[in-house]
Amino acid sequence: MADIQIRRMNWLDVDEVTKVEEASFAIPWTKEAFMNEMLRNDQAIYFVAVHERRIVGFVGVWQIVDEGHITNIAVLPEYRGQGIGNLLLTQLVEFARSKSLAALTLEVRVSNIGAQKLYEQFGFENAGRRKRYYQDNNEDAYIYWAKLGSESE
């Protein structure tokens, strides 16, 4: 999609990011949770996708020693399928490499085939399953890992 900018998230973005979260997940993170991420969690790094001054997507990661745990990635429903998730993940992987992180991990619903395909494009591999991981319907989650190197994608 043309005219999408990816930049670091700050606390002023929390209201808009919360709207994206609420439009994307059955049990969304609260505004307070995002504010805590921005102001109190030194391990949290988030990026937002901006289209015409509107936040249309975001991705977050916790940097834990030399690994990154992707906490959430979401795009507003009306902007999905336009490559914004790809742009966000590209930025996140570049950031992770710049911090010399060895790997990234995340959980994804077993039913979310679209997300799984996106992650696999970035070298993520299914490394296991967490039973009844999602609280809204007790759906299992796949655990995905991607080893990062200094080589380019």
Residues acting as catalytic residues? 107, 119
Q: Distances from the Cα of 25 to the Cαs of 30, 40, 105, 142, 150, in angstroms?
A: 11, 23, 19, 17, 33
Q: Identify the residue whose tokens are 């998730």.
A: 85
Cα(63)–Cα(54) distance, rounded to whole angstroms?
27
Closest residue by Cα to residue 103 from 67, 65, 64, 59: 67
How many C-beta neighbours within 10 Å does residue 64 have?
11
Cα(131)–Cα(108) distance, rounded to whole angstroms?
12
